[in-house]
Amino acid sequence: MKQPHGQSFWRQLVLRIPYLWLLAFFLVPFLIVLKISLSETAIAQPPYTPVLDLAAGWHGLAAFFAGLSLDNYVLLGSDPLYLLSYLKSVEIAAFATLLLLVIGYPIAYAIARTPRRWQAVLVLLTVLPFWTSLLIRIYAWMNILQRDGPLNEVLMALSIVKEPPAWLSTDTAIYVGIVYSYLPFMVLPLYATLEKLDESLVEAAADLGCPRWKIFWQVTLPLSSSGMLAGVLLCFIPIVGEFVIPDLLGGSQSPMIGQTIWMEFFGNKDWPAASAVAVVLVCLLVTPIVIYQNQAMRVVEQE
Amino acid sequence: MRKVSAFNLVAIAAGIAFLYLPIVVLVIYSFNASRLVAVWGGWSIRWYAELIDDAPLVESALISIRLALTSATASTILGTLAALALVRFGRFRGWLLFAAMIYAPLVMPEVITGLSLLLLFVAVAVDRGFWTVAIAHTTMAMCFVTVIVQSRLVDFDMSLEEAAMDLGASPLRTFLSVTLPLILPAIAAAWMLAFALSLDDLVIASFTTGPGATTLPIRIYSEVRLGVKPEMNAVCSIMVGVVGIAVIAASLLAKLTWARGAPARL
């Protein structure tokens, strides 16, 4: 189909600007990471070796390919620290996402069922804590969870525990921090879907004598699946690479993968190893994004 | 009006309590006279008084706010354009790469985004500072903006636009007077999210910053790492206060505008 001239001009503008931005600041940097991950550790230490010396022509190109090595990836496979780090990250992210879904769904559902003029206020209240720095919110939990902090005082006063348990530097503290920090990411997409849900479908089921739990299970839940998927992915994916929460609330004995990259980069100053860990992590996270993309395309094609 | 069931009421109350209790505890502790955070020494405002003399902290706060305003605005514009391209242009050439570049930064842990952008800035030998962090935050946030605006555009009733075009409106005019007002709530929400993401970020900023651009999260992180400080409770309380007032003012403004525009829309 031939486009009118004016329309095609705007089309190009709308497309080209974000396209070029992402090429320059997302794709190119990632290719650089890929290149560094294939470099020898010794020569790629800062100061930085040039990525590709185009001025050297063919010799430069030959030197470029000759310089590539898989040593860093061999290192990842041979050192259990990395494997344990990946496993721990995926385990924590999976369990925390499940917790978030179980906690976030009733909240989103309840907000979507309140009178419309209250919904904006409630959404605002959900997002409001999110505006303050994550660090300070995690720091607030450091206050609460410390040995002689308010949580243990309450537990002792209620005689639930005799000895104050240590919460900090445990996985429990990481879960608390993650659920607290990511709740808006789960509630907002769920709310957006539930708010649009066609209530006449629920009423129709009720009129036909369907019990309330069954309406929820067979009508509401399936209709909100796109919001659930969006919420799950918006939580699971960043949690896998989370750095701040495990660093401040968790213990130091088994780091998550984000901490490992940080350590390799800032601590050991091993840029190639950090890059290799990063590349493998990206490969690991490609699967959920493909699932999401397929789902999004199905939604578009259904319209 | 719909009736709110007891279950829904409990869910909302528990959710709000969970979200706000830690902040309330923090604000209370910020008025604690004792240097030991866990020991209550009576009410006092001494930590607030000490903040005023902490020039680097004030400077960092200003940098962070400027950074959030800049990157939220840039990422909202870029992200909205990207959403329009994704939803409206069908399968154009390079669609797959474009879609991948939109969704991949969402997958990308901040540690990697930060690392890769730092390596880019080092490769092109650019001086790191305010603008490199701004570029990094814009890139990170624009993908969130795209997802939010896109979800609104997917539900969009195309016949409204077609009607405007049939009546002779140019594509730009159609966009400005039909499409934009209808997707504006999503764009506003996206801007707010982008602002929050920028203000929140420690990891990407740590990688991409340079001398003279120490953001508030970087400064706070270094303080918290060195040990718990009661001044930090005071900083947080001020931020909560400022942000609370700003958001409530913004929503009141939006409500006023809405009340004026409502009869015309109905």
The domain locations on chain A are: 80-302
- With 0.90 as the threshold, say if the pTM is over it: no
Q: Given an 8 Å threshold on Cβ–Cβ distance, is A293 in contact with B106?
A: no
Residue in the block written with tokens 């445990």? A170
Q: Which residue of A has its CA nearest to B194?
A: A131
| Chain B 162-221, residues with CB within 8 Å of chain A CB atoms | 170-172, 175, 192-193, 195-196, 199-200, 202-203, 207, 216-217, 220-221
pLDDT at A138: 87
User: How many Cβ pairs closer than 8 A exist between chain A and B?
Assistant: 272
Please check the confidence at residue B261 and state whether its pLDDT lies above 50.
no
Under an 8 A CB cutoff, do B78 and A125 touch? Answer: no
Residues B127-144 have a mean pLDDT of 93
Task: Give how far A184 is from chain B: nearest CA, Å.
Answer: 10
Within an 8 Å CB–CB cutoff, is residue A202 touching chain B? no
Contact A132 B240 (CB under 8 A): yes
Banded model confidence at residue A1, pLDDT cuts 50, 70, 90: very low
Three-class SS state of B73: helix
| CA gap B172, B175 in Å, rounded | 5
The pLDDT value recorded for residue B75 is 96
pLDDT band at B78 (very low <50, low <70, confident <90, very high): very high
Higher pLDDT pick, A111 / A10: A111
Q: Could you read off the pLDDT of A37-47 as tens digits, one per residue?
A: 887 765 444 54
Residue B79: per-residue pLDDT = 95
What does the pLDDT look like over A75-94, one tens digit per residue?
777 888 888 889 999 999 99
Averaged pLDDT for residues B192-209: 87
B187 against B248, higher pLDDT? B187
Does B258 touch chain A if contact means CB atoms closer than 8 Å?
Answer: no
Give the domains, in start order, of chain B with CATH numbers. Answer: 54-265 (1.10.3720.10)
Backbone angles phi, psi at B240, to 5 degrees: -60, -45
Contact A136, B57 (CB under 8 A): no
**Whether residue B226 has pLDDT greater than 70:** no
Q: Tokens 């504006």 correspond to what residue?
A: B184
Q: Confidence band (pLDDT; 50, 70, 90) for B259?
A: low
**Arithmetic mean of pLDDT, A9-13:** 80
Q: What is the pLDDT of residue A77?
A: 77
The interface pTM score, or ipTM, of the predicted complex is 0.81
Q: What pLDDT, on the 0 to 100 scale, is given for residue A244?
A: 87
When pLDDT is averaged across residues B141-145 and rounded to a whole number, the result is 90
Distance set, CA A166 to CA A33, A146, A173, B228 (Å): 40, 7, 10, 17
Q: Say how far apart CA A298 and CA A294 lie, in whole Å.
A: 6
**pLDDT at residue B264 in the model:** 37
Segment A207-233 mean pLDDT: 83
Q: Which of residues 231-290 of A touch B (CB under 8 A)?
A: 233-234, 237-238, 240-244, 248, 257-258, 261-262, 265, 271, 274-275, 278, 281-282, 285-286, 288-289
Helix (H, G, I), strand (E, B) or coil at A28: helix
* Predicted pLDDT at B72: 94
Q: Answer whether residue B12 shows pLDDT above 70.
A: yes
Assess whether pLDDT exceeds 50 at residue A160.
Answer: yes
Cα dihedral sign, A132-A136-A138-A142: negative
pLDDT band for position A220 (cuts 50, 70, 90): confident
Biggest CA-to-CA distance, chain A: 79
User: What is the reported pLDDT for A66?
Assistant: 63
Q: Check whether A2 has a pLDDT greater than 60.
A: no
Nearest-by-Cβ selection for B25 from A26, A150, A292: A150
Assigned CATH topology for domain A80-302: MetI-like fold (1.10.3720)
pLDDT in tens, B26-77: 888 888 888 776 677 788 888 888 888 888 888 998 999 899 999 999 999 9
